[in-house]
Amino acid sequence: MFERNFLDKYRKDFHIVGLYKNRLSDTVFDSVAAFCLENGIVFRLEAFSDGIEEDREYVLRLPAFHVYYKEEYQSTFYPEDSVKKVLLACIAEFTKKTSWFSFKFPVFKRRKRVAVLGSRPLEN
């Protein structure tokens, strides 16, 4: 019940991006897509890009998923991870931060998923 209330309160501000390298495998993304659909969380698929900072810096292998809260990158997880646990951990982290600061101060730096120059090899 407690977890459900947290998800209900914050879900409209989350979105999840599923990342793939060359081809999509239907079954790899199904469980996360189903969770998002069931919980009213926006989900989309995108190709991995070396030019996007979150992809370049945080993805160790593919397929992977990025979690965004209000357009800000929060976390990267993989198919074997629990989506619910990842989202609850994100919520716990930023609610912990806001409890220590006045709401006059920004808790997160606004950053959208933007391509930049540069690359690094990615292992499959």
Query: Domain for residue 123, yes or no?
Result: no
Give the pLDDT score at 115: 59
* CATH code of the domain in which 85 resides: 3.40.30.10
- Average pLDDT over the chain reads 81
Q: Which residues pair with 15 in a beta bridge?
A: 42, 68
Query: Domain for residue 112, yes or no?
Result: no
- The answer on pLDDT for 82 being more than 70 is yes
Structure token pair of residue 42: 């926006």
Determine contact, residues 81/69, Cβ cutoff 8 Å.
no
CA-CA distance, 84 to 82, in Å (whole number)?
5
**Number of domains present in the structure of the chain:** 1
Provide the 10 A C-beta neighbour count for residue 53.
16
Query: Domain for residue 119, yes or no?
Result: no
Least Cα distance to 119 among 53, 64, 73, 69 occurs for: 53
Query: Domain for residue 36, yes or no?
Result: yes
Query: Domain for residue 105, yes or no?
Result: no
Q: For residue 40, what is the enclosing H or E element? A: none
Query: Domain for residue 10, yes or no?
Result: yes
Average confidence (pLDDT) over 69-93: 93
**N- to C-terminal Cα separation, the chain:** 38
Give the E-state strand segments of 1-124 in sequence order: 14-20, 42-47, 64-69, 72-77
Q: Which residues pair with 16 in a beta bridge?
A: 43, 67
Query: Domain for residue 118, yes or no?
Result: no
Range of the domain at 75: 2-100
Query: Domain for residue 73, yes or no?
Result: yes
Decide: pTM greater than 0.95. Answer: no
Is the model more confident about 66 or about 119?
Answer: 66
**pLDDT tens figures, 61-77:** 999 999 999 999 999 99
